[in-house]
Each structure stands twice: as structure tokens, then as C-alpha cells.
Amino acid sequence: MTEFLDLPPLTAARFAAIEDRVAALLRTRNDVVVMQGEALLPLEAAVRGAAHPGSTALNIVTGPYGQTFGGWLRDGGAKVVDLAVPFDTAVTAEQVDQALRDRPETDFVSLVHAEAATGNTNPVAAIAAVVREHGALLMLDAVASVAAEPLLTDAWGVDLCVVGGQKAMGGPAGVSAVAVSPRAWERIAANPAAPRRSYLSLLDWRERWTAAGRTVLPHAPAQLEMLALEACLDRIDAEGLDGVLARHRAAATALRAGVLALGTLTPYVRRAEDAAPVATTLRTPPGLDAAALAADVLRADPGVPVQAAGGALAGEVLRVNHYGPAAAPETVRRTLAALATALRGRGLPADTAAAGITG
Ligand SMILES: *Cc1c(COP(=O)(O)O)cnc(C)c1O
């Protein structure tokens, strides 16, 4: 299987066509820049491009990624107001509205749509309306929401929308994309601190690629990753985006219901409407280490997409990554069965009959 080593170079036209298909997926007419790196690359490029020295940014923290953005904004010299909510909830449009009223000078808002790490999702449509009314720019990390739940970049008025292929799209992790509105381009171009002549520079991409007719690529294309991205767009088209979204929603709903029926573990995100379709997080009972339980689950069935949560939650929260091809009834069933085996192995109850699984 080495035929992928002998491919002709990816043309600029094909690269541009893939960008256009990502734009269609994001429901945007804005420029889409596909960047050659994991999604942290366009996220950092967008935040550093927008972080004006002396400006005020509202950074909404609903999980670990929001914390990361705050650091980049501060590096760029912006005054950062963090609006943090407990990670087992979602932020509300009212909270964002209040934060903007408290700091009327705010001209940039960063928000994560869904957080795979904590399993919550935020009501972007309502939040974006509030941000728009205030006149600020909105940056959205949609890495964990694209292809898992509706993402309407232009209808909502998202100025910088970042996606990656590796979650619900079921695609590669090595290329990712950002949609940039005209207002966002203006802001970045006017920012003396925006990266220039740098791999992090959106302005370089605009100058050398997007605004230059997309005829000559500025760097050698990450060819295998681009072909993988194209293949996963083909797959999404074949299934239909609505079908892909419904599959993720159904997996999340079934897993949450199954876990509640099993008993012993509880959904970490309190309200079902705040739970992300991309991944479900589960709280272990006091005294039961989540990393140890995750190891037991994987011993019971190495094929299920279970891991311990990261960072501060690692001891008490498990994460089920039912995204991409894993957003399927069979994966949910196997995950519930493996959870039941692991819990019983520790002498804890697991009501498999109530959960509708055998074993
Ligand atoms: C997965 C994810 C990313 C991508 O980052 P990795 O840590 O490399 O997986 C970015 N933002 C959010 C909200 C994510 O869920």
C-alpha cells in the first residue's frame, strides 16, 4: 500500500475547490482559508490576528479551549475579560449580553461552540445575535461542532469560524480551516500586532493566495491530508449533511439515556439541551477514578471510543467520543456494554436490562 507515495502534486485549483467545499459545509460566502496544521493553528492565527493591543476582548470560557484563547489574547496585548461558567453547563446569551453591557468598549468575543473535552455545547445563534447587536466581532471555535450540529456561519454572523476535520467530519487532523468575514479581515489588517510573514499569518494567506486569485500556492500543499479532507467531504455529501447531524444527535441521545438507565455513572453535563452531539462526558461516583475505569472499559472492549477526560477532570470524568464513524447505534451499544462490564468488575451495579443491552 504505497501508491499514496507516488501521487502527482495537488494543484492549486484542486486546493481551491476543496476550500470552496469547506465554505459550503460552513454555510458561508466568506473567504475560507485552509491552513496546513491541526486546528490549533487557525485558532491561534485567528486569535492573534484579532488581538489588538489595548482593545478589550470578552473571552467566554466554557471548557479548556476558552482558557487557551485567553492566554493568546493577553499575549497580543488585549485587555481580556473572562466570562467563565461551570464546564457542566452552557453559557447563556443573557450572560453574554450582561458582560458586554458591563464593558461597552468590548470589540471582540471568543467563544467555543461545542467542547469535546467537557461535552457541552453553547447556544451560538442567540449569543451571536447579542454580539452583533453590540457591534463586536465574533470568533467561534467550531472544531467539535462542524458536522455534529448545525453550524450557520453567515446566518448567525460569525466573523472568524474555525473548523478541523478530525472530529464529526471523520477526516484528517492535519489540515483545518477558518472562514474570515470582511469585517474580520479589516480588523486583522488594521492590527499592528497581527502576525505577518509568519506561518500563523492569515494576512500572508490573503496576500499570497486568497486575494491573489488562488492560482499559486504559497507552500507545498499537505497533499495526503487534502485528499483525505476531500474524501471526507465526499462521504458527507453522499450521506447528506442532515443525515450526518442526525446520526450524531441520535448517538448522543442514546448514550445519555443508556447511561442513565444503567445507573452508577451520571452525565457530567447537567441538562440534555447543553450536551454536545459530538461527545458525551460521564461522571464517576465519588472514589472511583475515571482513568482507572476507562482502562477497565478498554480492557472489556478495546474498540470503544472511551477515554478519561483531560486536565482537572481526569479523576472524575470519562469521555465517549461518539463522532465520525463512531456516531452509530452499534458503537453506543458496545460502549454501554463495556461500561457495564467495567462497573460490575468493580462490584458496582449496572442495569443492562433497563439500558436495553444484553450482557
Ligand atoms: C478537538 C478540539 C480542538 C482541536 O484540538 P485538539 O486538542 O488537537 O484535539 C479544538 N477546539 C475544540 C473545542 C475541540 O473540541
CA atoms in the 13 A half-sphere facing the CB of 201: 18
| Phi and psi at residue 67, to the nearest 5° | -65, -40
> How do residues 32-71 score in pLDDT, each as one tens digit?
999 999 999 999 999 999 999 999 999 999 999 988 999 9
Which regions of the chain carry the CATH code 3.90.1150.10? 240-355
User: Average per-residue pLDDT in the chain?
Assistant: 96
Task: Extract the C-alpha cell encoding 165.
Answer: 476535520
pTM of the model: 0.97
* Domain boundaries 8-238, corresponding CATH code: 3.40.640.10
3-class secondary-structure state, position 133: helix
CB within 8 A of 257, min separation 6: which ones? none
Expressed in angstroms, the distance from the first to the final Cα of the chain is: 39
3-class secondary-structure state, position 139: strand
Which DSSP category does 285 fall into?
Answer: P
Task: Extract the C-alpha cell encoding 141.
Answer: 471555535
Pocket test for ligand 1, best of 60, 141, 176 (most atoms within 8 A of CB): 141
Which regions of the chain carry the CATH code 3.40.640.10? 8-238
> How do residues 264-280 score in pLDDT, each as one tens digit?
999 999 999 999 999 99
User: Which residue's C-alpha comes closest to atom 13 of ligand 1?
Assistant: 115
Q: Look at residues 286, 308, 311, 312 and name the one whose alpha carbon lies nearest to residue 297.
A: 308
Residue type, 1: M
| CATH class of this structure's domain 240-355 | alpha beta
Q: How far, in Å, CA of 228 to CA of 224, rounded? A: 6
pLDDT higher than 70, residue 292 = yes
The CB of 115 under 6 Å from ligand 1? The reply is: yes
Q: How far, in Å, CA of 149 to CA of 163, rounded? A: 13
Residue entry with cell 453535563 = 269
Question: Rounded mean pLDDT of 23-37?
Answer: 98
Question: Rounded mean pLDDT of 178-190?
Answer: 98
